[in-house]
Amino acid sequence: MFSAASPVIGDSRTQSSGGPGLQPHGRDFLLLRAAAGCVCRRCRFRVAAEMAAPGDGGTGPGPGPGSGSGLKRLAAAGDLRSVLITSVLNLERLEVDLFRGQHHWVPATRRLFGGQIVGQALVAAARAVSRDLQAHSLHCYFVRAGDPKVPVLYEVERTRTGKSFSVRSVKAIQHGKPIFICQASFQLAQQSPVQHQFTMPTVPPPEELLTQEELIEKFLQNPNLAERYRKHLNKIQAEDVPIDIKPVNPPDIFCAQPQEPKQFFWVRARGYIGETDMKVHCCVAAYISDYAFLGTALLPHRQYNIKFMVSLDHSMWFHAPFRSDHWMLYECESPWAGGCRGLVHGRLWRRDGVLAVTCTQEGVIRVEENPNQSKL
């Protein structure tokens, strides 16, 4: 029920044309050149490998040298790597199959963000499989509220290792009790003539749309906006969410009329991740998938004030390779709500029309019985 140490640039003491503390063709120098699009083809594979930052020989993001809370120093040094890789999904290995995760962003509810827990759990599971296996599904339950004031421990159980499929079970623990349980399944790549998928919805491209921040700024310019909603929008605007979001059909915040329980977002990780182990991009997609997902079930019920809304469970299926730092269309819909619960389905589409990920979530939704007032 939820609403890492980062590598610091400039470890080397050698001066170079890449700037203070950067060696020519060294790790940090390559990363900065990659961000500027100046890396030769020979070095691109090295750049992609550095972006994955496995750290301890496992798969997926991991702690690197110079660990510490160095996000501001990263930005100051011109490091454009995604904070989702350098910090949010960067777990500290404490023992074999035991990891510790920190918190980067805590929602206004002061509960842990569910996407962070799902993403970090998948990182922990991915550290316990060989590099040639790729994540194909995960199924999670949020069993207790998370505490944003303390780290989360992730305990991995190697449930089964087969020839084609392997299962890893992950338990997230705080204060000695599980707050989240997850089973992730990994598969060795296999070819099959049995293939089909739905057709991607036709929507405007991201280049033609405003970001969430730009939309909020537009709403805040309305002089008639009620103060309580102005404060709420300012709070959202101040949040340091490491995701770029462009709503395709943003709801009119000045209208409480019921809307169809369906919405579209163009989404991507902020910063550069690059072509690397697909498990890295799956972990990032797990983080992204929980953002604004359950809210889809509230679109037909916008006349009510929310008292309580939390995730109960979350499932994902990974279908095709994708880049989580490239724009993907997140199609969200809610086929049902009732009994203080809401069900949502989601699909992440690549820009070329390939269905990359499918998601499902159910959550608790409790509202005030009396409809709210106009926002103007």
The maximal CA–CA distance of the chain, rounded, in angstroms, is 66
**Residue of higher predicted confidence among 7 and 64:** 64
Question: Is position 310 within any domain?
Answer: yes
> What's the confidence (pLDDT) of residue 138?
98
> What's the confidence (pLDDT) of residue 212?
84
Share of the chain above pLDDT 70, in %: 71
Question: Is position 277 within any domain?
Answer: yes
Annotate 173-200 with DSSP letters as a single string.
Answer: EETTEEEEEEEEEEEE----S----PPP
Question: Is position 221 within any domain?
Answer: yes
Instruction: Look up the CATH number of the domain holding residue 228.
Output: 3.10.129.10
Question: Is position 50 within any domain?
Answer: no
Q: Check pLDDT > 70 for residue 277.
A: yes
Catalytic residue among 120, 166, 174, 361: 361
Q: Check pLDDT > 60 for residue 57.
A: no
> What's the confidence (pLDDT) of residue 79?
52
Is 340:323 a contact under the CB 8 Å cutoff?
A: no
Q: Is 311 a catalytic residue?
A: yes
Token pair for 141: 């339950």
Share of the chain above pLDDT 90, in %: 58
**Residue of higher predicted confidence among 214 and 325:** 325
Helices 114-126/278-289 angle, 10° precision: 160
Number of domains in the chain: 1
Catalytic residue among 120, 311, 324, 334: 311
Indicate the range of 81-85, 254-258, 315-319 predicted with least confidence: 254-258
Question: Is position 295 within any domain?
Answer: yes
Give me the domain span that covers residue 356: 206-371
Question: Is position 276 within any domain?
Answer: yes
> What's the confidence (pLDDT) of residue 103?
85
Question: Is position 361 within any domain?
Answer: yes
Question: Is position 97 within any domain?
Answer: no
Is 270:244 a contact under the CB 8 Å cutoff?
A: yes
Q: Is 132 a catalytic residue?
A: no
Q: What angle do CA 206, 343, 175 make, to 5 degrees?
A: 95
> What's the confidence (pLDDT) of residue 108?
63
**Residue of higher predicted confidence among 122 and 258:** 122
Q: What is the pTM of this model?
A: 0.77
Mean residue pLDDT of the chain comes to 80
Sequence letter at residue 287: Y
> What's the confidence (pLDDT) of residue 25?
39
What average pLDDT does the segment 293-302 reach?
93
Q: Is 192 a catalytic residue?
A: no
> What's the confidence (pLDDT) of residue 89?
93
Catalytic residue among 82, 290, 324, 325: 290
